[in-house]
Structure formats: C-alpha cells, structure tokens
Amino acid sequence: MNQGKYVYSQLTVFLPKRVFDRLVDKYQGNKYIKHFTCWNQLLCLIFGQLTGRDSLRDLIVSIEPHKSKYYHLGFGKGTSRSNFANANEKRNGKIFEDFAYYLIEQAKQSSITDIDFKLSIDGNVYAFDSTTIDLCLSVFWWAEFRKTKGGVKLHTLYDIKTSIPCFIHISKASLHDVNTLDILTYESGGYYIFDKAYIDYVRLFRIHQSSAYFVTRAKTNFKFQRIYSRKANKLNGILLDQTVKLTGYYVSKSYPEKLRRIKYYDEQTGKKLEFITNNFELTAQEIAQLYKYRWKVELFFKWIKQHLKIKTFWGTSLNAVKIQIYSAVITYCLVALIRNNLKIDRSTYEILQILSISLFDKTPLKELFTKQDYKYAKELYCKQLKINWY
C-alpha cells in the first residue's frame, strides 16, 4: 500500500537505485559533493521532464515552494540554480547514459509485442534514423552546424515490436547519418530498416556478414543486373520481385552477394517504391510492410519533442545537453516500466498528462490510472424530508 506517499515518490520506486549508485561510484560522480548528490540531480531532472519545465529558472522556481517535501520526494536538502547548472555542466554524463541503457533493457524485458505489429517474424525488428535538434548558435557556440545555425543530431535505433528506443547516440548535426552505422552492433537474425540516406554497400555488406537482414529503399542511380524474377502479385501492390546483382565496378566489390529488388505500388499515396534487401525468405508483401513500420521511429521523434523537454535546455554546455536528453529517455522508459508492470490500459501520452498534474497527490498509482465510468453510477437511495409550502 502507498497510503500517505506522494505519487512522485511512488514513481521513483521503479528506478533501481543500487544500479545507479554503482554507476556513480564507477565514474566518481559524488566526489567532493556535500548534499546535492547525483541521485538528487536525477530526480530533479525527471521532475522537470514530467512537469514540462521550459528553463532552469522555471524548474528551480517550481521546486522551491515544496521544501517541506524535499526529503519525501528525494531532492535532498534542495539546490540553487547555480549549483544545479554546475552539476549539469561538470558531472560525468556517462552516469546518466549508462543508466538510460539499463532502463531501456528493463523496459524491453517487461514489454509485450505492440498490437500494431502484425507480422509473424521471429527476429527483432529495428528502425534506425536520426533527428536534428536545433540550437541557438550564439548560446550553444560548440554546436556549429551551418553559418548561422547550430544543432545536434539524435540517432536512434528503435525497436518496432516493443516501441522502445534501444540505442541512442548524440552527435554534431554536421555528421552524415551513414557514419553512425559503424557504431551499431548487429544481432544475428535481426531486421534493420533504413531510409535510403543510409545506403553504403560496404556497411550493408557488414550487416549481411553478421547474419542480419536489412530493408531499405533504392536510390535513383541504382545499377544492377537481373538474375531471376519471381511471380509478382499485382493485386497486393507488388509490381516486381527480382534477384539482382550490382554491376558497378566499385559497388560490386563492396557488395559481391546477390540482392533482392522489390517494386511496390502504394495505393494510399499513389507512389511506386523500390526496395532492396538481403532477405529472400519473407514474401514481397511482408518486406513492403516492414518498411512501412519504419515510420514508427519518426513518430517517436515527433512524440518525444512534443511531450518531453529536448528542444529547450537547462544548460548550455554539451554535457548539460546530453544529460537532459538522456534524462528524457530515462523518463520515457520509466513510464513504459510503470505501464507494463501495473498493466495500465492507457497510452504513454495519457500517463504523462495525468502525472504532470498529480505528482504531489497521495493517490495510489494503480488507482490514479484506473479509468472510471461515472455514466451509470447510481446514487444511494435515501429518504428525504418533504417540504410543505403553505
């Protein structure tokens, strides 16, 4: 029972504090710290993400009126704006990065397959893409992107089946997307879906050698030699299903194996899409459906930018930006853990909206997210006195 316990305190129970303390000891995060520890910093960051604070001043002002609740909320003795800014700037961001990856693994283990995923595929399915977070160049001077524009890129490997981001990498906005393929570790039997911006045959062949599969779109300069054609089901939108081999001198050496080329007509958009893959087992319709699921990573970027704080930052250094982005990922995984463990029949957006106005309530979490239907509620029958008017 959580009677008398704040909702925010009930949330932090799902955070493995022992794991976080081990990471703090590993990177010496609490060295020379008197009262505002890394754990207090993490809880303040999550509080700012859940309540949607726009600036560091806004975050501190919203925390200060609740000094009597600091101990119960896990904020320690409290902090000033300057101390919080120094913590974000100087403390090792690897503490929060490694903790985010631990929570990602916990969220994946507790989650079930998304009902929107309707393909019977044994391996895990991932979509890899990036989004640019714009920054003011006069403030974030280190984030030079263009002549008058700054920014960082958030590269994300998104698990389609569980709707959990599995890999997060923050880089300069000027870094080309295809270079981040060198950082990924490919699992045998997994499916990796890319946009055509990631086409590099040396890197695609590395995926093939890892016994993994890729699905991507072909570029307009795609040159090949047809080896074999399968029967195409045009009623399902499949115009072509071919086994091909690259014909260019350099690309044929970069990728010497056969590829599968599929041409698909999308009735909804009226466009003809051309896919290439190294998978010859799935049907052409399933390959086209796999690429359609790639849009989920775009929806994740849109969602996290709208509902968590990764567009306005509480610090100006690179370390502060990274800590805030990883705190957003930690918050996302925390909500996913709560939803999976308590079996809450609500979307992540609804859970965040409820939490944002209920953190200082003392309602049990399960009761807080239970949907109440008052439409058919019956009032208790009781005899009432009649008033006689004369």
- pLDDT digit string (tens) for 20-29? 999 999 999 9
The mean of the pLDDT values for the chain is 88
Tokens of 259: 């590829």
Mean pLDDT (whole number) for 368-388? 60
Give the pLDDT band (50/70/90) at residue 227.
very high
Q: What confidence category does residue 377 fall into, taking pLDDT thresholds of 50, 70 and 90?
A: very low
Judge whether residue 374 has pLDDT over 50: no
Tell me the DSSP string of 252-304. Answer: HHH--S-EEEEEEEETTTTEEEEEEES--SS-HHHHHHHHHTTHHHHHHHHHH
pLDDT at 225 exceeding the cut of 70:
yes
Name the 3-class secondary structure at 225. Answer: strand
Q: Would you say residue 373 has pLDDT above 60?
A: no
- Range of weakest confidence among 15-19, 63-67, 206-210: 63-67
- Range scoring the smallest mean pLDDT among 78-82, 115-119, 280-284, 290-294: 115-119
Q: What's the 3-state SS for 95-162?
A: HHHHHHHHHHHHHHHHCCCCCCCCCCCCCCEEEEEEEEEEECCCCCCCCEEECCEEEEEEEEEEECCC
**What tens digit of pLDDT does each residue of 39-93 get?**
999 999 999 999 999 999 999 998 888 888 888 888 878 788 898 999 999 999 9
Which pairs count as long-range contacts for 2-6, CB under 8 Å and 24+ apart, including other chains? 2/362, 2/364, 2/365, 3/362, 3/364, 4/362, 5/72, 5/362, 6/69, 6/72, 6/73, 6/359, 6/360, 6/361, 6/362
The residue length of the chain stands at 390
pLDDT in tens, 149-187: 899 999 999 999 888 999 999 999 999 999 999 999 999
pLDDT of 234 above 90: no
Give the mean pLDDT of 184-195: 94
369, pLDDT greater than 80: yes
DSSP state at residue 371: P
